[in-house]
Copies of this chain bind each other. A is one copy, B any other.
Amino acid sequence: MKKQGLKIAVIGGGSSYTPELVEGFIRFHAELPVRELWLVDIDAGLHKLNIVGALAKRMVERSGLPIEVHLTTDRRAAVKNADFVSTQMRVGMLEARGRDETIPLKYGVIGQETTGPGGMLKALRTIPVQLDICRDMEELAPNAWLLNFTNPAGMVTEAIQRHSRVRSIGLCNAPIGLTKWLSTTYGTEPSAIDTEFVGLNHLHWVTRVDVNGDDKLPELLGQTEGFTGKNVPSTGWNPRFIRSLGGLPSYYLKYFYMTDEMLAEQQEAFRRDGNRAAVVKRVEDELFRLYADPDLAEKPKQLEQRGGAFYSEAAVNLMKSLHNGTNDIQTLNVANRGTLDFLPDDAAIEVNCLVTKNGPLPLPLTRVPENVKGLIHAVKTYERLTIQAAVTGDRDIALQAMVHHPLVPNVNVAAPMLDEMLEANRAYLPAFFPQG
């Protein structure tokens, strides 16, 4: 039966990213023979699911491929006997993101979706839901692979690996985005680019950039601009600093290395535009207007200009490699298993992996810059405490997590800020607010 094709369940299937994923399944059908595609969402997302689902059906129909598209709010039916489950959720939706980004600003602290206090609250909301999905998978699809795109991807992936038996991998679009950017910059095929990542999700350094076999890292470290994400201000790096850092920093590292400038920029942007979540909401609304066009049967160009470009390409690549055992190298979030010798074996890290039929194997690192070990460990400490807080609903542990985040250096700021943020998320934190 399974020989006739694969079953894929996409949780959060009503996401605006779904058309990209569908496009990937169509394009790579020869290597990844999808037979059933189940798009699942919650009741509150049903309207969007129907719009994006209808577009998905039109895309498949035009392709002429034997893929069945199912739209459902019955998660268990979607998960049952799936070969791959992917999750792309936003617990609390854009409204919650808006709070994550703005409450910290009142306390003079970086307000960001995936790192700092904002990322912490996102983790507290998301991890319990994600573990609930894992319970279903353990029962209904014990051999499936869970591909997690849900941010904060590192913490969510680690929570799954430590608190369930599901086989899971965390994915971010930053690594593939860098490859694309290098490919454009150097006018070469992505396959000619060889990079090595060290660190955690949204906290990595790239310690090797070979293009057609030539070492381009010194050149790239000599630039103060460089690859960046749409969602992070493009302020340039200090040239002396970047030159001697030992690796190309993730653009998220600007929050850590240029905290004052980033905070000023956030506060200015907030005064000017309101919170970024609202901006994103407008973009999304526009996308859904396009998706609803019954004549549209392909991924619209506008989708690529979003911050999350290449997510779905990364996902399809990974599924292809797992399915076929291609043994190619991808940068993924996986359990450490001794790769960074100062972190526990079960800590999620973001590194190059060999993708085998039996899952990804983290590759030994050629070089770990001494400079960055402490920062990696400091953020990992915060992450592990946050996971523990999410699973237990323990406010003391949550406070310790908040205090020990490098972007929150002050205890007397952390305590009231945490209280306000927990309260603002009350509806999504049953472990912290048991009676309701």
Interface residues of A (CB under 8 A from B): 194, 210, 213, 237-238, 240-241, 243-246, 256-261, 325, 327-329, 337-339, 341-343, 354, 356-358, 361-364, 366, 370-375, 377-382, 384-385, 388, 396-397, 399-400, 403-404, 406-407, 409-415
The residue from B246, B381, B414 contacting A374, defined by CB atoms under 8 A apart: B381
Q: Establish whether residues A210 and B357, one from each chain, have CB atoms under 8 Å apart when the complex forms.
A: yes
Cβ-neighbour of A415 out of B238, B259, B381, B403 (below 8 A): B238
- Taken together as a complex, chains A and B put the C-alpha atoms of A380 and B375 apart, in Å, by 10
Number of copies of this chain that the complex holds: 4
Q: Please, how many angstroms separate the alpha-carbon atoms of A370 and B386 in the complex?
A: 12
Return chain B residues, CB-CB under 8 Å to A400. 241, 244-246, 371
**B374 and A379 form a contact (CB under 8 A):** yes
Which residues of the partner chain B approach A404 to less than 8 Å between Cβ atoms? 371-372, 374-375
- The docked-state distance in angstroms from the alpha carbon of A82 to that of B373 is 38
Candidates B213, B244, B385; contact of A370 at CB < 8 Å = B385
Contacts of A210 in B (CB 8 A): 357
Closest CB in chain B relative to A70 CB, distance in Å = 28
Chain B residue at minimum C-beta to C-beta distance from A208: B358
In the bound complex, how far is the Cα of B361 from the Cα of A366, in angstroms?
A: 9
Q: Are the C-beta atoms of B373 and A377 separated by less than 8 Å?
A: yes
CA distance in complex: A425, B383 (Å): 40
Question: B residues within 8 A CB of A256?
Answer: 409
A254's nearest neighbour on chain B, judged by CB, is B411
Partner of A194, one of B194, B357, B409: B357
Least distance between A411 CB and chain B CB atoms (Å): 5
A100 CB to nearest B CB, Å: 21
Nearest to A260 among chain B residues (CB) is B410
- In the complex formed, the residue of B with least CB distance to A342 is B342
Minimum CB distance partner of A410 in chain B: B260
Taking CB atoms, residues of chain B closer than 8 Å to A370 are 381, 384-385, 388
Query: What is the CB-to-nearest-CB distance from A382 to chain B, in angstroms, rounded to a whole number?
Result: 7
A365 to chain B, nearest CB (A): 9
